[in-house]
Amino acid sequence: VSSQPSAPLSAHHRSVKAARRLTKRSTRAEQQRFLAEGPQAVREALTAPPGGFPRGVPVAAEVFATADCGRRHPDLVEAAAASGCPWHLVSGEVLASLAQTVTPQGVVAVCHFVDRTLEEVVTPSSRLLAVGADVRDPGNAGTLMRCADAAGADGLVLAGTSVDAYNGKAVRATAGSLFHLPLAVGVPVHDTVSRARASGLQVLAADGSGDLDLFAAESAGLLDQRVAWLFGNEAWGLPAEVTRLADAVVRVPILGRAESLNLATAAAVCLYASARRQR
Amino acid sequence: VSSQPSAPLSAHHRSVKAARRLTKRSTRAEQQRFLAEGPQAVREALTAPPGGFPRGVPVAAEVFATADCGRRHPDLVEAAAASGCPWHLVSGEVLASLAQTVTPQGVVAVCHFVDRTLEEVVTPSSRLLAVGADVRDPGNAGTLMRCADAAGADGLVLAGTSVDAYNGKAVRATAGSLFHLPLAVGVPVHDTVSRARASGLQVLAADGSGDLDLFAAESAGLLDQRVAWLFGNEAWGLPAEVTRLADAVVRVPILGRAESLNLATAAAVCLYASARRQR
């Protein structure tokens, strides 16, 4: 069917219905699959190393695209063919039923989960790690991943009761980093900290309540070391039982009159500060 | 009317209708007023120094609130009374017609525009300024303002064809910084750069195309100086005719495999880097 561009799949086709169910978290968890939309994300999914990251299976399982999208992005059609990934032609209407944005850009891929175990993400050779503790907003979780990737982190752990990393909004906010950066999910914060420490990493909690500001932490040499940075929920920061686990609690100094920084911008400032010192 | 909590204003009341029209940009521009919603923003609006910032009039012109909100936030009711700002009781339904979020939290203020002239924002005593050039996304514009405030910037210029700073989503994303940080809007980028230079500021353009990375810029001493940082549109960065105006084009180094950083996180990294060196 997928090689017959003249016969788009109907809204009731088994594959379309199965894919549509992946917009629900429970189905994603059960099937260990999720949806990635837009040409950039689908390109990353199709070209993620097969057999390597994550578990020996190609990341992209199947692609749904409009005829127009196929014409605009022949590289995607080729990449799908090269990796043996089925390319299903669908109408704009059917595509819209799979996508979660107003402008889905004509293409959605069903992908296998890409997360790894905590032991694979936090290792004795890790130098810079980001840990989100109870991050509830999908946009924040995704942007945190994008920032961690940009700052050269070795991985991200979405720990505690963090939002589903495979939520459509989270996937979009990663801007493709979901397909690059080693990710562990659903791990207790406590286990993450233990594993980081056992791997020889310093543990720094980023929190507005910190008695050490980031500039002072730098002067004290804390940013020169291998580190796992803990970032909390935007609304309530890091709880005391988490900050207690850290070697130090560091705040990004608020130099003006803003009440706070949002999660991703605070994380970017901390991760880049460590990255700069580690070089 | 506003002192009669037993008589909420109807949806057709002149004041309600006038406020509702402020959800439109053209009405805002014509009346030089905008809407701020939620207890935090309304508190900031009510307590912004009267007669000082911006133009000799109190920032908050009138408040619309549900009875429940008044009970939960007696400090707001008092602040309104103290500053002579009318407090209109409305139903949840009428409030929802004024608010632009799903959960408006019971209170909306009509505020006078707070922007200043370019000459007031960019001055010979400015040390750190943020300039958004053609920033089109309201959330990005608001978050840029919040970051600039947090990093201790002296002001923000939303230059060129940037989004309306008084757009509801932009106002919310500033998280109150709109009421603190000196802001100029609607100024050509070229004029902003000229004014910055005439005020003795170095002009640095933040762009992924920069041949100098931020760490190298620091080593070269560029971050020690008084500076106006130019930030571009997320989709296409800064156009060549803008980067040409700058003393240097600096990129935030992408140390991992992310394609880019978003506008606000890149701005936070640059502004904090300058703030740290300037101290």
What value of ipTM does the predicted structure carry? 0.90
Nearest alpha carbon to residue B264 among A232, A144, A99:
A144
Sign for the CA dihedral angle at A267, A270, A275, A276 comes to: positive
User: How many CA atoms, within 13 angstroms, populate the side-chain half-sphere of residue A260?
Assistant: 17
Residue A119: other Cβ atoms inside 10 A: 11
Environment class of A234 (CB within 10 Å of its CB; exposed 0-12, middle 13-18, buried 19+): middle
At A44-78, the pLDDT tens digits run 999 887 654 556 778 999 999 999 999 999 999 99
DSSP state of A178: G
| Token pair belonging to A146 | 């994008």
Q: Which amino acid is at B53?
A: F
CA distance A16 to chain B (A): 30
User: How many CA atoms, within 13 angstroms, populate the side-chain half-sphere of residue B99?
Assistant: 25
Residue B167: other Cβ atoms inside 10 A: 21
In chain B, what residues touch A279 (CB-CB under 8 Å)? 215
Residue pointed to by tokens 């880049």: A272
Cis preceding linkage at B54, omega within 30: yes
Nearest alpha carbon to residue A163 among A190, A133, A189:
A133
Of B180, B257, B265, the CB nearest to A257: B180
pTM of the model: 0.92
CB pairs under 8 A between A and B: 110
Q: Per-residue pLDDT tens, chain B, 279 aa: give them.
A: 444 456 899 999 999 999 999 999 999 999 999 999 999 999 999 988 764 455 677 899 999 999 999 999 999 999 999 989 999 999 999 999 998 877 778 999 999 999 999 999 999 999 999 999 999 999 999 999 999 999 999 999 999 999 999 999 999 999 999 998 999 999 999 999 999 999 999 999 999 989 899 999 999 999 999 999 999 987 778 989 999 999 999 999 999 999 889 999 999 999 999 999 998
Element (H, E) at B238: none
Please say whether the beta carbons of B66 and B91 come within 8 A: yes
The residues in B 158-177 lying below 8 A from A, measured between CB atoms, are: 175-177
- Interface check for A143 against chain B (CB to CB < 8 A): the answer is yes
Nearest alpha carbon to residue B118 among B131, B137, B135:
B131
Q: Is A19 helix (H, G, I), strand (E, B) or coil?
A: helix
DSSP assignments along B56-115, one per residue: SS-SEEEEEE-HHHHHH-HHHHHHHHHTT--EEEB-HHHHHHH--SSS-TTEEEEEE---
